[in-house]
């Protein structure tokens, strides 16, 4: 009997001990962090077409940036691309690099010209075997501007340019500012 009354007392008092209680609203703030990376979208990429005329091979002459005339019906063509960057960007150009498969000849100079249609920069190497590269700084491009760029090149030989198939690569770098 004592047990039954003890159990009944616990049940009756337990309902008061565990009565629903109003709870305060609780909130949690979650933070997000990240990086908005500077980047450029390159479209309309077109490879160039070079010709050999006298001691010059490329799209322009070695002593001027004048276009080389057509050779045997082949007209030299600039390389080009369109750049659209999400931040102010500086474009740099490097000198032409010959493919290992090119016919061998002694180059006196190499030159690359990057242009946005208004301004241009140039990278030039005299005596490529051990010469220094001279560059005209950088070409700035504004954020969100769609900019058409062209690239011309020249390699000047010590004598004539040997008959053969040539390939050159020019590095263009885009550096966010």
Digit-coded pLDDT (tens) for 24-83: 888 999 999 998 888 999 999 999 999 999 999 999 998 889 999 999 899 999 999 999
44 CA to centre of own chain: 14
In the numeric block, the tokens 């039954």 are attached to 4
The phi, psi pair for 101, rounded to 5°, reads -80, -5
CA dist list (Å): 161 to 37, 51, 95: 45, 10, 18
Average pLDDT over residues 101-123: 94
Percent of the chain at pLDDT > 70 equals 84
User: What pLDDT sits at residue 109?
Assistant: 92
What predicted TM-score, i.e. pTM, was given to this entire model?
0.78
């Amino acid at each position: 009997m004592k047990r039954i009354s003890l159990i009944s007392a616990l049940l009756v008092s337990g309902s008061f001990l565990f009565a629903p209680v109003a709870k305060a609203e609780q909130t949690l703030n979650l933070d997000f962090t990240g990086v908005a990376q500077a980047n450029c979208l390159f479209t309309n990429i077109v490879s160039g077409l070079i010709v050999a005329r006298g001691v010059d091979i490329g799209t322009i002459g070695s002593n001027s940036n004048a276009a080389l005339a057509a050779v045997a019906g082949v007209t030299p063509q600039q390389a080009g691309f369109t750049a659209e960057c999400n931040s102010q960007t500086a474009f740099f150009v490097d000198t032409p690099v010959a493919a290992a498969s090119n016919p061998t000849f002694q180059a006196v100079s190499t030159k690359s010209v990057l242009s946005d249609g208004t301004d241009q920069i140039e990278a030039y190497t005299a005596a490529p075997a051990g010469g220094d590269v001279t560059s005209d700084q950088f070409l700035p491009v504004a954020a969100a501007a769609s900019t058409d760029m062209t690239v011309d090149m020249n390699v000047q030989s010590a004598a004539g340019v040997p008959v053969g198939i040539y390939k050159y690569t020019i590095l263009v770098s885009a550096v966010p500012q």
